[in-house]
Amino acid sequence: MQPAILKRLLEERAAKRPVALVTRIEGGQQAVVTPQEALGALELDAAPLAEIRRSLAEDRSGMIEGGYFVHVHNPPLRLILVGAVHIAQALAPMAAIAGYQVVIVDPRRAFATDERFPGITLDDRWPDEALEDLQPNRRTAVVTLTHDPKLDDPALMVALKSDAFYIGCLGSRKTHAKRLERLTEAGFGEADFQRIHGPLGLDIGAITPAEIAISALAEITETLRRAPEAEVKAA
């Protein structure tokens, strides 16, 4: 492996960004491929490059057409939930089963307890401080659940400045409209608002906390899997 290839691969992994090491079986030439660019002696046409990026989006290593082996080095999926509420009690274990590292952020220690959230990482800092430290990236989903602007809004402001692939907010359309007004006053604009899924979740007629959790995880999954696919097609 060329030193420049190894250096870039290690840099991307250290930064917890999606990256793939691509090797041509015949000849051994290699390239590092990210969702944005490719680096290395291996020249890749549009078709294999699109397939490699699809492999990144699907967390799938293996052979692709043309005699290339793709080794995907994706960072873990993470779900940051702001609010240790009833919906979080359903959503956290569902997301963990789906392969997410789940963190629940809530300074209200009476709600964020090990008894209510067994096996889930709890963070009792204020949401803005916690999210600044957690550094949401392209493999992170952020969901606010408290209905309290003092908790939800600071988390959103950090998430909107990050590369989080999904940002979702619990609340009615009326609640969401007021939320956008507050974010506008804080200096955010339409491009930021397009990133927010509000009301939270796919429209499946969900009523109970568990049903809302199902709709939320479904929307997170749809965004994770289909948005990168759309980017590949656009490229």
Mean pLDDT of the chain: 93
Answer yes or no: is pLDDT of 97 > 80: yes
Query: Which sequence spans correspond to the domains of the chain?
Result: 3-73, 77-228
Q: What pLDDT is attached to residue 234? A: 45
Residue 232: what pLDDT? 46
Contact 228, 235 (CB under 8 A): no
pLDDT at position 227, please? Answer: 66
Above pLDDT 70, what percent of the chain? 96
Residue 43 — very low, low, confident or very high, per pLDDT cuts 50/70/90?
A: confident
Instruction: Tell me the C-alpha distance between 48 and 29, whole Å.
Output: 14
Q: Sorting pLDDT into bands at 50, 70 and 90, what band is 229? A: low
Residue, of 161 and 36, whose pLDDT is higher: 161
Residues 164-187, mean pLDDT to the nearest whole number: 96
96 contacts 120 by C-beta, under 8 angstroms:
yes
Top-level class of domain 77-228: alpha beta
Rounded to whole angstroms, the Cα distance separating 151 from 129 reads 11
Backbone phi and psi for residue 39, each to the nearest 5 degrees, phi listed first: -135, 130
Give the DSSP H/E element, type plus range, for residue 156.
helix 149-160
pLDDT for residue 73? 93
pLDDT for 125 beyond 80: yes
Residue 235 clears pLDDT 60, i.e. is over it: no
What pLDDT is stored for residue 42 in this prediction?
Answer: 86
Q: How many CB atoms lie within 10 A of CB 216?
A: 29
The least confident of 33-42, 58-67, 120-129, 151-160 is 33-42
pLDDT at residue 17, rounded to an integer:
87
**In the predicted model, is pLDDT for residue 40 greater than 90?**
no
Instruction: Tell whether the model's pLDDT for residue 202 goes beyond 70.
Output: yes
Question: Residue 175: its pLDDT value, please?
Answer: 94
